[in-house]
Amino acid sequence: GAVVSQHPSWVICKSGTSVKIECRSLDFQATTMFWYRQFPKQSLMLMATSNEGSKATYEQGVEKDKFLINHASLTLSTLTVTSAHPEDSSFYICSAGDRSQNTIYFGEGSWLTVV
Amino acid sequence: GQNIDQPTEMTATEGAIVQINCTYQTSGFNGLFWYQQHAGEAPTFLSYNVLDGLEEKGRFSSFLSRSKGYSYLLLKELQMKDSASYLCAVRDRPDDYKLSFGAGTTVTVRA
């Protein structure tokens, strides 16, 4: 079964509203989690590193006020897309590293459609 | 910056073998991952190489040469379900689980 779980899998929202996506590590604790975005037929692009108990680290070109990241516990990170616009429609995927397995797992992904 | 190159597309026949090459130039190196991604789904882990050599796992094998900045993923006895995108990704620090991805190689398996 999944070791990293994302919710929701699909979400449709209206322009101007905010949407929250959750990422949970189920069998291990993760001090860092990662959020990626993937547009159709393109590869994964790292948006930000979610750090437990501290501020997220954003990649160049990613608006931190638009993509709010919270990592309040060792098993949960949330990404909130604020004031969503149609161009924010994309596949959002989180990942976390399991130190005991030295492996990086991905969540199932979340499809966001902004109408 | 990170530069990870892999072919865009490959086509092969069911039962055949396909080799997907990946070359990388990154600021650091602490392992190379291969993931399989079906359309509309999240990537699933295939292999991880941190030392030079070949890692075999059933029908899939992965090879790494750190001195050449080169890896390949070998898919044997191809099945229709192997049609997917294959992503090469590099981890640049041992204390970090952040990955830099190549653009992905779309493999189409034909009957």
Give the pLDDT score at A2. 62
Q: Which of A7, A2, A3 is nearest to A112 (CA)?
A: A7
The span from the CA of A70 to the CA of B58, in Å, is 39
Residue that the structure tokens 């291990």 belong to: A28
**Looking at the partner chain, which of B98, B100, B104 has a beta carbon nearest the beta carbon of A49?**
B98
pLDDT tens digits along A56-76: 999 999 999 999 999 988 999
The span from the CA of A20 to the CA of A81, in Å, is 6
Overall average pLDDT of the A87-111 stretch: 90
In order along its 111 residues, chain B shows pLDDT tens digits of: 679 999 999 999 999 999 999 999 988 899 999 999 998 888 998 999 999 999 999 999 999 999 999 999 999 999 999 999 999 999 988 778 889 999 999 999 999
Asked if B91's CB is within 8 angstroms of A107's CB, the reply is: no
Give the pLDDT score at B23. 97
Residue A104 has pLDDT above 90, yes or no: no
Asked if A42's CB is within 8 angstroms of B103's CB, the reply is: yes
Work out the mean pLDDT of chain B and round it to a whole number: 93
